[in-house]
Amino acid sequence: MKRASIISKQGKPELRRMVPEVAGWLTSHEYQITADAVAREFWPAAEPAEREELIDKKPDFVVVLGGDGTLLATARNVARAGIPILGVNLGSLGFLTEIRQDEIKKALEAIDAGNCELSQRGMLQCRVCRNGKCMAEYNALNDIVMNQRAVARITDFEVMVNGRFVSQYKADGLIIATPTGSTAYSLAAGGPIVSPEVSGFLITPVASHALTNRPLVVRDTAVIHVKMIVTREQAYLTVDGQQGEPLEEGDIVECRKSEFKVKLFKFPERSFFDVLRTKLKWGER
């Protein structure tokens, strides 16, 4: 039997209409459905399954009803199993959840017929090393951010790429981002927009205290080491804006290409540049 899962963002009024629409379509096309607690409020017949349980349920794909944050959390849970995600935008911007609400049936029909393209997005693996020991390990689809919990406190970061010294940044924070994450925090901090097809990582300082420090793009085969030189307050590592880990002076954050990729469904007729024009309101020609 065909299987699909529904993951939803809590508190969205659109779910009252969207969940029955999606679940009804899936049921009528002979899919067995699992859903998280939020979606099951509107479709109780679905088998319970939260994000953390999706791999065990082995769905053919996951429908995410929410914004980019909901998709990011889901992606980190299913990436290692290669489960594709259909992101339906119920948020405000939504670079990842690019399917509009009025396109959901068209998208489901294309997936069911095998006519929907997959965009494979590389992930970033980071390890927090302290006194030669690995304290934590994460995989990020968008970015990892190192900064201080206190407001307006600078930190000194020493950055090495493939064992070669790059710079010692004095900044409010430092972002290591994937091309997918180039439209997230890195963009707000002055970083470039990078097409998802580019094999690279971005190193973007946040409010650098040296005017010559600029965002840097390196190949995704590179290994990036960031050493916390001076932390005047409690420093913190944040993964995709959702997970976190305290940092101490002398800690080394090692970043490299993850072995996992996130698979996102997309319409073949809609390019990355179409999404940029729509989301950033660049205007039509």
Active-site positions? 68
CB distance 91 to 66 below 8 Å: yes
CB distance 161 to 249 below 8 Å: no
* Sheet containing strand 235-239, strands side by side: 216-219, 200-206, 173-177, 143-148, 235-239, 243-247
- Which neighbouring-strand residues pair with 21? none
Contacting residues for 172 by C-beta, under 8 A, at least 6 apart: 147, 148, 152, 153, 154, 155, 206, 207
As a 3-state breakdown, the chain gives helix, strand, coil percent values, each rounded to 5, of 25, 40, 35
The C-alpha atoms of residue 147 and residue 73 are separated, in whole angstroms, by 21
Count of beta carbons in the 10 Å neighbourhood of residue 159: 20
Contacting residues for 184 by C-beta, under 8 A, at least 6 apart: 68, 95, 142, 143, 177, 241
If residue 216 lies in a helix (H) or strand (E), which one and from where to where?
strand 216-219
